[in-house]
Amino acid sequence: MTETKSPKESLIVNTDQVMINDLNNYNTLFGGVLMKKLDNNATLSARRHARVKECVTASTDSIDFLYPIHQTDSVCVESFVSYTGNKSMEIFCKVIAEDMITGERRMAATAFLTFVALDENKKPVKVPEIVPETEEEKFLYESGKERAETRRSRRKHSKQLTEIIALEKPWEKGVYA
């Protein structure tokens, strides 16, 4: 019998304050700073689900920045396994910004990342399936197969693209003369 887990067993919640060095020239959180937070959280969700020492990011499907995050906000990143393949796990992340002065909370971003669990020889291993329980988990799970197919198609396209894109240094081709 295949091992199954609930998405909540992989839940990671991390809350941080926004520091001045995290801000861009619009005085909002740099997208790259948020991307690092998402990758860190999602990695822990993947490792918690697979119970392995190492998981690697296979793809970052999407990060939808919905509302800006300001210095007066806290940033809460929640992540959990939303769908599984044989050796891959889709991690759903949501980012909640909370204005620390007013207490207003808003969904600042959502993201989907895919991870592969590795054994001690750095080889992919089978991961437990999930059994969604909440309405949110069920919605994400039921739409997960379509996202997985989109990832496979995009990966195939990326591999085709790598066969035709140039690796030469542009400045040695005379392009920037």
Model confidence band, residue 172 (pLDDT cutoffs 50, 70, 90): confident
> How far apart, in Å, are the Cα atoms of 3 and each of 88, 116, 129?
15, 17, 6
Q: What digits encode the pLDDT tens for the residues 65-124?
A: 999 999 999 999 999 999 999 999 999 999 999 999 999 999 999 999 999 999 999 999
Mean pLDDT of 18-46: 96
Segment (H or E) for 4: strand 4-5
Model confidence band, residue 174 (pLDDT cutoffs 50, 70, 90): low
Using the 8-state DSSP alphabet, how is residue 27 labeled?
S
Whole-number pLDDT of residue 108: 98
Residues with Cβ < 8 Å from 47, sequence gap 6 or more?
Answer: 53, 54, 55, 117
Whole-number pLDDT of residue 167: 83
Whole-number pLDDT of residue 175: 58
DSSP string, 45-67: HHHHHHT-SEEEEEEEEEEEE-S
Mean pLDDT of 45-68: 95
